[in-house]
Structures are given as structure tokens and as C-alpha cells.
Structure 1
Amino acid sequence: MALHGSLEPPVQLHQVSKVGDGGRKAPDTARLEAVLGHRFADQSLLATALTHMSAEDSRLASYQRLEFLGDRVLGLSVAELLFRQFPQSEEGNLSRRLADLVRKETCAEVAEGWNLGQFMRLGEGEILGGARKNKAILADACEAIIGAVFIDGGYEAARALIERAFGERMLKPVRPLRDAKTALQEWAQGKGYPTPTYSERGRSGPDHAPVFVVAAKITGLADAEARGPSKRLAEQAAAEAFLRREGLWNDNPEGDNV
């Protein structure tokens, strides 16, 4: 059933009004397309994917919407590739690998491999601030490129780009976890859940030897409680309890923890 009247008018994803940084001519993106392995039928999509909000008067003319889309396409594509690449891996291991591959740090590494910074359209202040090497901006632009390829060439084109860019990383050992809280946060990210939070549920014992009760909470899932001699250690224990309940944690350092 078609909807009329109540929705905003459609906004063109690829609307771009300025050329280059501070009025300068934009760099030749043919080299970038060669690195990406995708020739854009709609060049304005690529231009938008390379446009930081500081270079435009409107956020809608920047890469933000394409970044939003690319983030989802990246997650789906990596999940599919992992499912096919590791047929013997359990869900916990696949989730850990997914979180490791779609994290902002990995996207920034991919963007650096594409040499994406030199093609970015930035405001003068951002240029002076070194934004071409800013990992957060590069990570966002990486996802925007993926979104642009998805719009321009469909899912298969985006999936092929992701396989080329992330494939070798997919085969590397999963980065070692620092602690249970990190494991829980990365697992939640990989599953699309909100960031875990921790709340103190109680405290007992004398001042010189307190016992804290803390709950690890993720919206949409049951809380997990644990105790510890400090809030920090109780939070770690609660995160571990959460992971154990989900079948994602064991005591074997060589085991299949998240």
C-alpha cells in the first residue's frame, strides 16, 4: 500500500554542490576506482561518499547517509563471508570475528589501504587539523564508499568490494581479547545490540573488605549479576557471567571465547 502526504520528500543521496576543498579542483578519482575495483556509473555517488560534513553547508550533502547504509551492508556481507569461510565454527567464534572485522579501527585500516584520505573533500579547518589521516573520519568514509557501491552496483558489487578489502583480514587469527568487558562489548556490537552498561545492585561487607554486586545490562537481553571486591572487578565478573550464559566464554585460553 502506497503512503502519501505524511512522509518527507525523498532526498537525493548523491547531491553534491561544491567541488574540491575550499574551491580547488577535486582530485581525479579514477585512480581510486581502480583500487576499489569498481567503476561508478553515477560519479556523484562517489563524490558524496568522499565529502565530509565540514565541506558542505548541509549534512545531507555529506557522506553521513551513505555511511549509515554502508555500515549495515558491511555487517551483512562480512557475516555471509564468515559463514561460508568457516563452516565448522560455532556462533560465538563467528560473532567474535564479525566484531573484529567491522570495528572502526579495521575500517580505518582498509581506508588507509585505499589511500582514501587524499581523495576526501574537507573544510579548510579539517584539512589544517590533519583530518586526511584521522582514523574516525577514514573509517566513516570507508563505510560510505561501501554504501555508495551498494547503491551504484547492488549487493553483489558491494560484497565483492568487501571481500577484496577484508578477505585477508578474515583469515587472520582473531585479535586477542583484553578482558571480559571488551569481549562483551565487541560481541554486542557484532550482534547489533546497544553498548553494554553496568549498574551497582548492592554492597556488603566491612569498609576494608567490601563486596560489590554489579549487573551487566544489554537492552533486549536478561541482565547478568556478579560480585567482586571492587566495582571494576565486579563489572568484569558480570561481563564474564553474561558471556558464559550466552555460551561465549570458557576457562581454556585456547578455547572458542567469543
Structure 2
Amino acid sequence: MSTEVVQDWAEQKLGRRFRNAELLVEALTHTSLPGRNYQRLEFLGDRVLGLIIATWLYERHPNESEGKLNRRFVELVRGQTCARIARDLGVARHIRLERTAREQGVNETVNVLGDVCEALIGALYLDGGMAAARKFVRSAWEPLLTGAATVEKDPKSALQEWAQGRGLPLPAYAIVGRSGPHHAPQFTVEVTVRTLDPVQATGKSRQEAEKQAAAALLAKVREEKND
């Protein structure tokens, strides 16, 4: 895909035609290809996104406590949310990656989409300053802002609260399996809570697998409660 095509897409979806097109290309380059990739821009974009969202919430909810603001913040900046934004923007088809990785659908995974979304924010910041990054984030995240306070807690946090509320030790997570190629690993994690049978789940990263395992254990607890 030509740089011109990607520039046209960025202008339409990100609200900016990059002065430095190399930043845009770097933000869309997966680690399966040699040379510069999105990881450094992801590091920067994560911090820029956090500052924009935190400031926005502070201004929008002047009477909310720190705890409520933080719950909104965590939901809005987590990887799944960034991946959702990226999916809505059609990012996956513009990600540059090795052919086998594309055939395996690596560019469609939550981890990669979330990382690239943050990398694009980092690229916008370097190319156009905070104003360019803020313009994109406020436009893309606006539909999510209203519902952010009512979404369910992160599964790991919810499971931890469930255990603590019953005087049980904190949930313990352990990697029990890993498979797949280096650029697209699959992790299997087992979560254990005293008095409950362990549950396993698989994800594209350890963090994702832990969340899936926590969610599965919570679902099992709810099913047993309803029986």
C-alpha cells in the first residue's frame, strides 16, 4: 500500500495529513518486519492519551471523586478500548506486517490494534503537537465518554473484589502454556481462588489471558449462584 493512500486515510480518519509521513508509516509497522516499528511510538502515545483523557475527565466531571474519575479513566485508556477505536477506523488493513503474520490475522488482534492506536496518537503528537493528538482523541473517544462510568469493572478487579469481600486470599494467576510463533504467541493462564476450582483461558498476551480467565471464573461463580 502506497504512502499516498495511507496519507489519504490518515487525513480522513485521524484528521491530519502528516508533514512527516515516516512517522505515520512507523506507527503502522508491525514488529514482524525489520527496521523501525510502532513500539516506541506506542510508548509515547500511551502517555499522551492518558494525559488527554485525564484532563478531559477532570474538566467534564468537576464534582466527581478521584475514585470515580479513575474508574472512568481506566476504562477509556485500556487496550480493548484502543482496539475498538482502531477497528472502527479501519486500521487493520493499513498495518504493515510480514505475510505469514497477516495470513494468521495478527493485524486483527486486540493487542496489535490497541498498540497501533496508541502509536498513531504518538505520531500525531510528534507531527502536530498536543493539539493534533487532542483533536483526534476527543473526536474518536467522544461516543465512549458518556457510557464509561457504567461499564463493568475489569474482570481481574471484579474477581479480586469478590474474593476480598469473602475474606479469601487474592486470586493467583499462573502461565500453564504457551504456543504459536514468536510474533503471534498464545498464552494459557490458570486462575485460582481458594474454595473454587481453577479455570484456564487463552489470550494473545499474558494480560489478555489473565482477564479472560478471571471473566470465565466470575461467569462460573454467577452460574453456580443461579442454579
Q: What TM-score, normalized to structure 2?
A: 0.67
- In the alignment, what sits opposite 1:33? 11
Aligned-residue offset at 1:135: 1.6
Q: What secondary structure, in the 3-state scheme, does the structure 1 residue paired with 2:25 have?
A: helix
Conserved? CA contact 1:100–1:174, under 8 Å? no
Unpaired stretches in structure 2, ≥5 consecutive residues: 172-192, 197-227
Equivalent position to 1:176, from 121, 127, 152: 152
1:166 correspondence with 2:141: yes
Aligned length: 169
**CA deviation string 1:213-243 (max 9, x = no partner):** 6369xxxxxxxxxxxxx6368xxxxxxxxxx
Equivalent position to 2:46, from 71, 80, 103: 71
Q: What secondary structure, in the 3-state scheme, does the structure 2 residue paired with 1:52 have?
A: coil
Structure 1 residues 77 and 184, CA gap change in structure 2 (3 angstroms): farther
1:53 correspondence with 2:5: no
1:106 correspondence with 2:81: yes
Q: Tell me how far apart the structure 2 counterparts of residues 147 and 232 of structure 1 sit (CA, whole Å).
A: 45
- In the alignment, what sits opposite 2:72? 97
TM-align CA RMSD: 2.5
**Runs (4+) of structure 1 moved beyond 3 Å?**
211-216
Conserved? CA contact 2:18–2:24, under 8 Å? yes
Conserved? CA contact 1:36–1:161, under 8 Å? yes
State the AA in 1 paired with 2:194. Answer: K
Q: Tell me how far apart the structure 2 counterparts of residues 67 and 98 of structure 1 sit (CA, whole Å).
A: 18
- In the alignment, what sits opposite 1:239? none
State the AA in 1 paired with 2:10. Answer: L
* Higher relative helix content: 2
Aligned-residue offset at 1:26: 5.6
Q: What secondary structure, in the 3-state scheme, does the structure 1 residue paired with 2:19 have?
A: coil
Aligned-residue offset at 1:125: 1.3
Aligned-residue offset at 1:86: 1.0
Q: What TM-score, normalized to structure 1?
A: 0.60
Aligned-residue offset at 1:98: 0.3
User: Which protein has the larger Cα radius of gyration, Structure 1 or Structure 2?
Assistant: 1
